[in-house]
Structure 1
């Protein structure tokens, strides 16, 4: 069975400019599931939090807006996006 956190994570990772999900400086952001954890996604009753690392050069505001848009079609309520880091692009 696919968990909501997995669906949100896959959608976020599909947004151009997103390098990876990021659990935060101290690893505090995540959703705990039986036997594992989905880092960078926190599903709350009132808000969904998404923490990401972006690829260097990706437009921050536009990428965050796209994440909000995509996640908003999956979850209810507001979506808070935090850009934790910017990373170098990987070689093709």
Structure 2
């Protein structure tokens, strides 16, 4: 799998984890995988680890949600996964 395909798959799997509101690109949008003609915010792939930055819903267990993201992504990438919870957001009908 190419890096663009991998980063997009990581984003897809992360968004599907219960409790995850969305990926988060960091304060200045600096956390991303840059692709030709675009980028995948919230995912940074390194040779020795992968970073995933997320926003979670406030009514969900933050640590358990982060652990679920880590487990899900690690099974795909095969390297350690560092999960950073950047924000906690209120669940609304639009973002659930």
TM-score range relative to shorter protein: over 0.9
1:1-92 aligned within 5 A: 3-91=5-93
Number of equivalent positions? 92
SS in 1 for 2:92: coil
Whole-angstrom distance in 1 between the partners of 2:93 and 2:39: 28
Gaps of at least 5 residues in structure 2 are none
Q: TM-score, normalised by structure 1?
A: 0.95
Q: TM-score, normalised by structure 2?
A: 0.91
SS in 2 for 1:54: strand
Shift of 1:14: 0.4
Gaps of at least 5 residues in structure 1 are none
Shift of 1:39: 0.1
The Cα RMSD (Å) is 1.4
SS in 1 for 2:28: coil
More helix by share: 2
